[in-house]
Structure 1
Amino acid sequence: MLSKTIRIPGTTANCGPGFDAVGMACTIYNYLTIEETGNHEIHVEVEGEGIGQIPDSEGNIAVQAALSVFDRVHYDHTGFVMKMKNAVPLARGLGSSAAAIVGGLVAANCFTGEQLSTAELLDMATAIEGHPDNVAPALLGGVTVSFMDDEMHAKSLRFVPPTPLAMVVAVPDFSLATSAARQVLPKHVAYQDAVFNVSRVALLIGSLCSGDYRYLSSGLEDKLHQPYRKPLIKGIDSVFVAAQQAGAIGTAISGSGPCIIAFTTKNAQKIGKAMVLAFQSQDIGARYYVLELDTQGAQEVL
């Protein structure tokens, strides 16, 4: 029976001021396998993160993504089992839904002879997710700057910083749905806040492209979404301070949270421990990962 397995990186999006536009692929991975069964049924098996929470039927978002590929290329499947082995925490701001969507799309595309281009897969992933900031780095790897063109097609500029940068991610023991994090955002923002973010996201991309991180801390500042989401993440200010005192270059909410990400070129373990202790001081359990930039994106595992 035909079988295809895909490795998909987790992602951090927004990266401070780059709301719904900037994303980075991280070296934490989910594995997704589509295996033909011939019984004309669809079944999902989950291992690791999300076990007991992720739907095990056609309602699974990865299954829906795979079926959209089958429909687009006119492939009449004869039943399959989808096996998901997940390391990306669920609903924490590390792109778990994007990984599922991209995994389903890429696995189904490989399964059917790679008839769809990367650009088509990015468009399809964005349509399912609603925005490209997580799905683009999950698909492409590296740092991505994404936008919708005049015809509402997703486009993404991908690059890899010339100077290595570690990402220390503190993962608190509670989840935060993206929908809930979006509900607290204002419908309008002050002109000066928009100008502030334009300057900061330019500084962020300039710092990353050049590998000159002297201004990265300022480049991670934001006034469009983080101030409104901070009340949803207990202890966030103390975690930011702890990370910076331990040597972090800068900090941000990862995606819509509640994970907090610190960027650094040294002392990553010290920073991670300090962030966990800061959460614990607020009676919140937490763990941390030290991650690097994934440069491959979603890849078939042979």
Structure 2
Amino acid sequence: MTYRIRVPATTANLGPGFDALGLALTLYNEFQIEEIASGIEVLGCDEIPLEENLIYTTIQKLFKQYHHEKQGVRVIPHHIDIPLSRGLGSSAACIAAGIAIANRAMGEPLKLEDMIQIGTALEGHPDNVVPALVGGMVASVHEADQVIYSKINIPKNLCFALMIPDFTVSTGEARKVLPEQYSKKDCIYNISRTALLVAAMGNGELEKLRYATGDRIHQSYRTKLIPGLEEIFQKAQSLRSKAEVISGSGSTLMAMIERDNTSFEQEMNIFLKTMEGGWQIKILENDDKGIQIYA
């Protein structure tokens, strides 16, 4: 039997919601899956050793954990559009895909909640893997090996402009630049902005997003890792963006724009061509379904 699986890109943090907020986007990795007699085969990824391939290692881990030996899988990349190490959840997408593939091969013993717990344990935090699995904008809490999450309504007239460079920023590198401690003032700043962001999204109050996406936990420390950030943010604001944030740990930057701001893409694209870094722009929407399996 053959089927396809599609998993969305995700953006995390959305400004103040460090390791807590995530959003699924209409950019996808799609794989063709073939059931085989036994074993795990991942084709078309020869540049990545199997022991470092997250789809392979995730499937292998679950097969071993559930003592599954009856049926194997062959994974064939079909469309791979999520760039690596750009703050768009490429690792979470691979982990989510691996869990879904293993679950299907084992006869689907895992419920969605099980998949979320496993994915978070493998990823280390829930902000990307939860929206990759369930879609939408999600607030997640990881406590005592349990993930509690809630989906957040997104205004229908809001879409997301992704400015993606040709250089990468590793998550490890982006975390090393962060301080070990924060002042009470900075913590209050982020708590209040995160609460405002959730409320403003749910109420459709786009005019409040600029205030709601303020951050003192990670973005200012990561600015030096992304040359051109300040200039791109300033240009986005001049083009009537509602807010600008680093997508995950970078290097991608994201602007929240109204759907009828039809000139944003063309004008930003012209500007990006003047910048070093090989920047490209994609206008994406919220993916509300998360991972999907097709016959």
Answer yes or no: same fold by TM over 0.5: yes
Instruction: Tell me the distance in 2 between the aligned counterparts of 1:274 and 1:8.
Output: 30
Give yes or no for contact 2:35–2:105 (8 Å, CA) kept in 1: no
Instruction: Tell me the distance in 1 between the aligned counterparts of 2:210 and 2:116.
Output: 30
Give yes or no for contact 2:9–2:26 (8 Å, CA) kept in 1: yes
Shift of 1:267: 5.1
TM-score, with structure 2 as normaliser: 0.93
Correspondence for 2:96 = 102
Residue 222 of structure 2 is aligned to residue 229 of structure 1: yes
Structure 2 counterpart of 1:117, which letter? K
**Paired residues for 1:1-302 under 5 Å:** 2-38=1-37, 40-46=38-44, 53-55=47-49, 57-84=50-77, 85-149=79-143, 151-266=144-259, 268=261, 270-302=263-295
Structure 2 counterpart of 1:45, which letter? L
Give yes or no for contact 1:29–1:86 (8 Å, CA) kept in 2: yes
Instruction: Tell me the distance in 1 between the aligned counterparts of 2:113 and 2:235.
Output: 41
Structure 2 counterpart of 1:203, which letter? L
Structure 1 counterpart of 2:22, which letter? G
Shift of 1:265: 1.1
Instruction: Tell me the distance in 2 between the aligned counterparts of 1:72 and 1:3.
Output: 24
Secondary structure at the counterpart of residue 93 of structure 1: coil
Instruction: Tell me the distance in 1 between the aligned counterparts of 2:70 and 2:176.
Output: 39
Unaligned runs of 5+ in 1: none
Structure 1 counterpart of 2:55, which letter? A
Residues 84-119 of structure 1: CA distance to partner in whole angstroms, max 9, x if unpaired?
231111110111110000011012212222210111
TM-score, with structure 1 as normaliser: 0.91
Residues 194-225 of structure 1: CA distance to partner in whole angstroms, max 9, x if unpaired?
11101111111011111121201111111100
Structure 1 counterpart of 2:16, which letter? P
Q: Name the % identity.
A: 36
Aligned residues: 294
Structure 2 counterpart of 1:168, which letter? A
Shift of 1:269: 5.1
Secondary structure at the counterpart of residue 233 of structure 2: helix
Secondary structure at the counterpart of residue 133 of structure 1: helix
Shift of 1:278: 4.3
Give yes or no for contact 2:177–2:221 (8 Å, CA) kept in 1: yes
